[in-house]
Structure 1
Amino acid sequence: MAYTLITPATEELITVAEAKKHMRVLHNNEDDMIGIYLMAAIGRFQEQTSRVISKSTWQLTLDKFPVNGIIEIMRCTVISVQSVRYIDSLGAEQEINVQDVKLDAASEPARLSPAFGKSWPTTANIINAVTIEFEAGYTDAAALNKLDKAAIFLMTAHWYRNREEVVVGKTANEVPKTADDIMSLRKIPNGF
């Protein structure tokens, strides 16, 4: 099972201006640097939680369809499924009509199964025989969870203010990782 980003977000839902407001930065001198830290924070958040912030297109590859019929999509929030393709037992690529699958986007992780009365076809016995393309992320900033934004702002501020791994005083102390605590609360559970 592997996830690949196909089309990155065209619109970022968390802005440098919002991050600066959180950090109480009033000048524009380091907007580019803050933007880099913000992008890194969003990336780390997404990697740690399996949540996608801004709408983007992803690909999930599997070696075969699951025996229990349910495919968990570990990139939330799933908006829609664009395609489900597979290599059949003769080695030819086939595509399943998206009307023949059911997406449960309300669950975390999202779940994909054959529609009522349908079943997954038999695939060739090869790696990456199944390819699912889907859109995930929030479609507008108002829908973003406040905890998600808090974790991202905390990481951005931390990296902006502490440009090294440790703060050195009389003794070296690691900066508190409040963002990690929030991300552990927001992590998508693996399996059911």
Structure 2
Amino acid sequence: MITVEDAKAHCRIEHGAEDGLLESLIAAAFRQIENRTGQVFDKVEGAEMVLDSLPSGGAGIELQWTPVRTVNELVFLDPQGVEQTMLATELSLDARGVYPKLYPVTEWPESKGQRASVKVKADIGYAELPADVRAAALLIIGHLYEHREAVVIGTIATDLPMGVELLLAPYVIHRVG
């Protein structure tokens, strides 16, 4: 995604004394972007979503992430409480729409209705960081690096007209409710 070297070049830092700070600013920038857009930009392998039961009939499971690169498996408790696994070959991912939906290739098996009895494991996030999101992240990192205090006194500030909000606008998932 964005390396410490990328952040150092953007902030024009020529020493390694603040590498730890830059790592934390990179993480903070991505959390801000992900909170703002509702999407996952950092590649995560093996993310886990927990449910209380499998749906009945042909209903799909709406996954909590977007985008989802692959679903690895679904682990659930059968009616007798024995752990069962559905592999990726037994699952179908419908990536249309805001949040992807997971369906069985044939039909959902019976599951035990119990808290946290179903776990979906998936690889999520963008395979490659879009250029405009990268630019927005670097703007945020630069801002946080230059302004390390909660309050700046004695300056007049204004948002950059072609700044972070404009760069992230195409990726924002608008929520209702």
Cα deviation, residue 22, structure 1: 2.7
Residue 24 (structure 1) aligned with residue 12 (structure 2):
yes
Contact 1:85 1:93 in 2 (8 A): yes
Mean Cα deviation higher: 66-75 or 152-161: 66-75
Q: Who is 2:41 aligned against?
A: 52
Residue 123 (structure 1) aligned with residue 111 (structure 2):
yes
Contact 2:72 2:87 in 1 (8 A): no
Contact 2:60 2:101 in 1 (8 A): yes
Cα deviation, residue 162, structure 1: 0.7
TM-score normalised according to structure 2 size: 0.79
Q: Tell me how far apart the structure 2 counterparts of residues 131 and 102 of structure 1 sit (CA, whole Å).
A: 16
Q: Tell me how far apart the structure 2 counterparts of residues 95 and 148 of structure 1 sit (CA, whole Å).
A: 36
User: What CA deviation, in whole Å up to 9, does each residue of 1:86-111 have, x standing for no partner?
Assistant: 11222221112321211234654222
Cα deviation, residue 60, structure 1: 0.7
Q: Is there any run of 5+ residues in structure 2 with no aligned partner, and where?
A: none
Match of 1:132 among 120, 129, 144: 120
Q: Who is 2:86 aligned against?
A: 96
| Secondary structure of 2:34's aligned partner | helix
Match of 1:35 among 9, 14, 23: 23
Contact 2:43 2:123 in 1 (8 A): no
Q: Who is 2:131 aligned against?
A: 146
| Secondary structure of 1:74's aligned partner | coil
Q: Is there any run of 5+ residues in structure 1 with no aligned partner, and where?
A: 1-12
After superposition, the CA RMSD in angstroms is 2.8
Q: Who is 1:84 aligned against?
A: 74
| Secondary structure of 2:109's aligned partner | coil
| Secondary structure of 2:10's aligned partner | helix
Matches within 5 A, 1:5-20: 13-20=1-8
Cα deviation, residue 16, structure 1: 1.8
Contact 1:167 1:174 in 2 (8 A): no
| Secondary structure of 2:152's aligned partner | strand
Contact 1:166 1:175 in 2 (8 A): no
**Residue 65 of structure 1 aligns to which amino acid in structure 2?**
L
Aligned residues: 172
TM-score normalised according to structure 1 size: 0.74
**Residue 56 of structure 1 aligns to which amino acid in structure 2?**
E
**Residue 109 of structure 2 aligns to which amino acid in structure 1?**
P
Match of 1:161 among 135, 139, 146: 146
Q: Who is 1:7 aligned against?
A: none
